[in-house]
Amino acid sequence: MPSAHASGTFAIGGDMPVHRLGFGAMRITGQGIWGEPADRAAAKATLARVPELGIDLIDTADSYGPFVSEDLIAEVLHPYKNLVIATKGGLTRHGPDIWRPVGNPDYLRQCVLMSLRRLRIERIDLWQLHRIGPDVPREAQFAVIAAMREEGLIRHVGLSEVSVDDIAAAQTFFPVATVQNQYNLVDRTSEAVLDHCTAHGIGFIPWAPLARGALARDGSVLSEIAKAHGASDGAVALAWLLKRAPVMLPIPGTGDPAHLADNMKGADLSLSDAEFAALDAQGRAAWNAAQAG
């Protein structure tokens, strides 16, 4: 059976070790990340498989559903045994695929308090600011997060879709334990942020880790490497991420138990340096072409 154990460990905030290959709980909701999942039984079965596959990091958010993902996690997995439930707040929902950031400090406090209630816990191990809201200065948002950390409502703090400058600004209020930015084989926008996180021991949680674009076509370097290893393209993409940096914490998401197990095969897949370099080169070429086009 594939297991996240093979992905190694990373200590979030220096004192909260997790296996590096986790689970993203966005896809256990309805279409457009809105409402209940089309197959609730499959979503619950997927969550039930998480600990069986050695996964001990689940990433969710109050905006997934909204609220559906957190409610299902609590229904299936509470009380949590050897599980880190990371959640996020700061995005409001007004319909399928509509995401609007709000950074009002009172709203962010409400996000934390309601997530605590839905997840049935007294402290959130990792709470991440889903986006820096444009409605108030970022310093006001960081200040209320620091206060909630001091109160013991939050153990560790993360940021999402931020720059190196944002990280540095936040560090004056609290230690930044993780950064969650989009990053994958074909999206290198956050390369500088990843390098900063690597240099400073900050966990980097790449969202959309399985995006492969044209690299998934037959005859591509990715396809040929996948065939050589008897693995899926997705498993190879995850193996590439794990090899890219020791702070990398991919969280592939799915609402299908079989797909979840297949993703975990990426933890066992060992890429050679030559395979890693070939994938990296093709991914960078695809990214550069997309930027130029």
Task: Give CA separation, 16 vs 78, 183, 204, 271, in Å.
Answer: 19, 23, 14, 27
State the pLDDT at residue 291: 86
Residue 215: alpha-carbon gap to chain centroid:
22
State the pLDDT at residue 289: 85
Phi-psi domain of 262 (left: phi exceeds 0; alpha: psi -120 through 50; beta: other): alpha
State the pLDDT at residue 210: 86
State the pLDDT at residue 135: 97
Output phi, psi for 72, to 5 deg: -65, -40
By annotation, the residues acting in catalysis are: 64
Quote the DSSP letter at residue 34: B
State the pLDDT at residue 36: 98
Output phi, psi for 89, to 5 deg: -150, 160
Q: Where residue 1 falls among pLDDT bands split at 50, 70, 90?
A: confident
State the pLDDT at residue 154: 98
State the pLDDT at residue 259: 95
Q: What is the pTM of this model?
A: 0.97
For 286, the token pair is 């695809």
β-strands 23-24, 16-19 pairing:
unpaired
Q: Is the pLDDT of residue 286 over 90?
A: no
CATH of domain 4-214+244-255: 3.20.20.100
pLDDT tens string 165-206: 999 999 999 999 999 999 999 999 999 999 999 999 999 999
What mean pLDDT is reported for the chain?
96
Beta bridge partners of 101: 91
State the pLDDT at residue 191: 96
Residue type, 241: L
pLDDT tens string 71-91: 999 999 999 999 999 999 999
% of the chain exceeding 70 in pLDDT: 99
Q: Is the pLDDT of residue 293 over 80?
A: no
State the pLDDT at residue 292: 85
Least confident of 9-18, 116-125, 211-220: 211-220
Q: Where residue 219 falls among pLDDT bands split at 50, 70, 90?
A: confident
